[in-house]
């Protein structure tokens, strides 16, 4: 079934005339992911200028130069298909779940619009999944891929919690685990340094660091996005901006240890928790980022739904539909009122994003709570089973003793 959907999607992409400009769609692309930046960089490079002299190009040098050299839109379709298969392969332990991921992904118009828009965050998602894949399968590539992922988007540092869980699962002693982690971090740092140096060689100076890593957190764009902090930073006084930025950049790092603690206890043997853990980690990290695009949220929700069977038991499941409607329909509508007329209050856009995020926060935190309870129930049941087994054995032993005593008595008699 999903194969048919995939073939239809590819045919639609190949045969459809996709010169239409979809950049008017709210929330689908933002200044960090838009393909317009690649076009701008291409033009400046063709005229012998450093593309990072201009404002507004946030993609990293290797990505820009890579896309200019490849110069074929097929790379976005290939990346998209790879992402889908990686998600299904890595996290779709149950057959039914695997099929539903593939169908949901390929039949999703948001994902298709993302391919048409040629948003460059598709490569961030791809490298994230490749990092997890290599952490599970081929160990030596994982630090290199993690370094590449951080080079592309530092916000993905939160994946380190999931990688720590994978490593802990596979090492017996704490010392070996610590050595493995330190080695991993050192290799990743080395990879990042090499990539930065190559970027310096390509662009000719270090200007790209200021534009793509520092200005990254201080953009001056005004298009509202579904990033929770957009409204906060857009309306903040300059005096306090640096303080808040420093605070919100560092806060995702504080999540790494709690997330590791949460999942290492329960994910030691079961692979299914890994996808859910990564979904929760990404949500924690992107909550503190101003510019979240809708495709980022789609990936997060696919991963969060991994444990859908027990999620349906909890109340927040119902709000997913509400949140989705709020973002796409009500939010889009209000966005058009504000952006097309500048007469509405931009706080309308903020409040509908805020309400959606309240629901997402409840969803994620209650999802984790239910997962822990579920695991606690499982553990309790296991313990009770063991206890019952023990009691049964004791009973049998007692019965045997009684029988022996009766037999002995009979013998005496």
By CB under 8 A, name the binding residues for another protein. 36, 39-40, 42-44, 47, 49, 53-56, 220-223, 228-229, 231-232, 234-238, 241, 251, 254-255, 257-259, 261-262, 280, 284, 287-288, 315, 339-342, 345-347, 350, 354, 357-358, 361-362, 364-366, 368-369, 372-373, 376-377, 380
Place of tokens 């002995």: 408
Report the nearest approach of another protein to the CB of residue 189 (Å).
26
Q: Answer yes or no: are the C-beta atoms of 280 and 305 closer than 8 Å.
A: no
Count of residues for the chain?
413
Nearest to another protein of 36, 171 (CB atom): 36
Q: How far is the CB of 42 from another protein (least distance, A)?
A: 7
- Please, which residue, 262 or 327, has the CB nearer to another protein? 262
The sign of the torsion formed by the CA atoms of 280, 281, 283, 288 equals positive
For residue 290, give both structure tokens: 């101003």
Alpha helices of 92-214 — where are they, by DSSP H?
Answer: 95-106, 109-117, 121-136, 142-152, 159-170, 174-203, 207-209
Nearer to another protein, 46 or 321 (CB): 46
Measure the CA–CA gap between 194 and 200, rounded to whole angstroms.
10
Would you say 98 or 241 has its CB closer to another protein?
A: 241
Please say whether the dihedral angle defined by the alpha carbons of residues 348, 227, 215 and 232, taken in this order, is positive or negative. Answer: positive
Query: Least distance (Å) from another protein to the CB of residue 223?
Result: 6
Cα of first residue to Cα of last residue in the chain, in angstroms, is 77
- Tell me the closest approach of the beta carbon of residue 1 to another protein, in angstroms: 37
Nearer to another protein, 65 or 127 (CB): 65
Contacts of 85 (CB under 8 A, 6+ apart): none
Q: 86 or 320, CB closer to another protein?
A: 320
Question: Least distance (Å) from another protein to the CB of residue 372?
Answer: 5
Please, which residue, 93 or 355, has the CB nearer to another protein?
355
Q: In whole angstroms, what is the distance from residue 272 CA to residue 82 CA?
A: 20
Compute the least distance from the CB of residue 46 to another protein, in Å.
9
Burial 340-360 (b: 16+ CB within 10 A, else e): eeeeeebebbbebbebbbebb
Pick from 129, 132, 26, 40: which is nearest to 79 by CA? 129
Q: Could you tell me the smallest distance in angstroms from the CB atom of residue 375 to another protein?
A: 8
- The residue among 263, 256, 275 whose CA lies nearest residue 375 is 263
Of residues 100 and 339, the one with the C-beta less far from another protein: 339
Smallest distance from another protein to CB 265, Å:
9
């Amino acid at each position: 079934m999903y194969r048919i959907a995939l073939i239809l999607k590819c045919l639609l992409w190949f045969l459809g005339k996709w010169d239409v400009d979809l950049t008017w769609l709210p929330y689908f692309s933002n200044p960090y992911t838009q393909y317009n930046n690649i076009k701008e960089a291409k033009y400046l490079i063709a005229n012998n200028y450093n593309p990072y002299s201009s404002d507004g190009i946030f993609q990293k040098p290797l990505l820009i130069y890579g896309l200019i050299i490849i110069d074929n839109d097929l790379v976005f379709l290939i990346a998209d298909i790879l992402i889908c298969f990686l998600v299904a392969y890595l996290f779709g332990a149950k057959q039914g779940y695997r099929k539903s991921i593939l169908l949901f992904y390929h039949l999703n118009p948001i994902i298709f619009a993302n391919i048409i828009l040629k948003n460059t965050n598709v490569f961030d998602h791809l490298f994230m999944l490749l990092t997890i894949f290599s952490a599970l399968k081929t160990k030596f590539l994982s630090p290199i891929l993690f370094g590449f992922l951080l080079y592309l988007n530092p916000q993905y540092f939160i994946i380190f919690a999931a990688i720590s869980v994978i490593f802990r699962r596979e090492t017996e002693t704490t010392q070996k685990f610590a050595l493995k982690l330190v080695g991993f971090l050192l290799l990743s740092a080395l990879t990042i340094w090499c990539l930065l140096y190559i970027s310096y060689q390509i662009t000719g100076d270090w200007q790209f660091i200021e534009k793509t890593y520092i200005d990254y957190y201080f953009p001056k764009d005004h298009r509202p996005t579904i990033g929770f902090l957009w409204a906060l930073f857009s309306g903040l006084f300059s005096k306090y901006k640096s303080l808040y930025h420093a605070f919100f950049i560092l806060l995702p790092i504080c999540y790494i240890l709690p997330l590791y603690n949460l999942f290492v206890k329960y994910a030691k043997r079961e692979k299914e928790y890994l996808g859910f853990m990564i979904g929760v980690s990404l949500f924690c990290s992107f909550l503190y980022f101003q510019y979240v695009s809708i495709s980022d949220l789609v990936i997060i929700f696919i991963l969060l739904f991994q444990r859908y069977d027990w999620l349906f038991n909890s109340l927040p499941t119902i709000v997913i539909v509400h949140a989705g409607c709020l973002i796409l329909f009500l939010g889009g509508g209000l966005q058009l009122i504000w952006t097309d007329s500048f007469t509405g209050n931009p706080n309308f856009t903020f409040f509908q994003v805020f309400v959606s995020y309240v629901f997402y926060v409840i969803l994620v935190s209650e999802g984790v709570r239910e997962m822990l309870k579920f695991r606690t129930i499982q553990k309790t049941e296991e313990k009770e089973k063991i206890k019952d087994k023990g009691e049964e054995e004791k009973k049998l032993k007692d019965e045997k003793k009684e029988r022996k005593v009766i037999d002995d008595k009979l013998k005496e008699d």
